[in-house]
Copies of this chain bind each other. A is one copy, B any other.
Amino acid sequence: MVKYNRELDATFQALADPTRRAIVAALSRGQASVTELAEPFEMSMPAVSKHLKVLERAGLIARGRAAQWRPCRLEAGPLRNAADWLEHYRQFWEQSFDRLNDYVSELQSKESGDGRED
């Protein structure tokens, strides 16, 4: 009954780490070398390389093969698929916030009602 979607598993797993999300953010502004990516994180190169491998296995990034510096670039597909999956629930959370709004309005009108009674 459970639909297996290993790509989504790997995408969400890769995004469950703040450093990897920061790497995605950095690469969304353009391709970068491992050295350039490591700089702002105050992290060793092997530590950054490990995160890059997780992102690469998840298909979230690709690495140039020709150039000496093998730049990393972001790949759009997995991010879009993850967003598409979450999009199914938009209606759910919009309804939840509508209900919360209604409840707050109800409380506010009760409160202003109490105010008049004072």
Contact = CB atoms under 8 A, between A and B. Distances in A.
B41 A2 contact: yes
A18 B1 contact: no
Interface residues of A, number: 43
Contact of A3 (B5, B16, B22, B42): B22
Nearest to A100: B76
A4 B18 contact: yes
Interface in A36-72: 40-42
A15 interface: yes
B12 A16 contact: yes
A83 B8 CA distance: 14
A105 interface: no
Interface in A1-36: 1-5, 8-13, 15-19, 21-22, 24-25, 28
A97 interface: yes
Contacts of A18: 2-5, 8-9
A90 B80 CA distance: 7
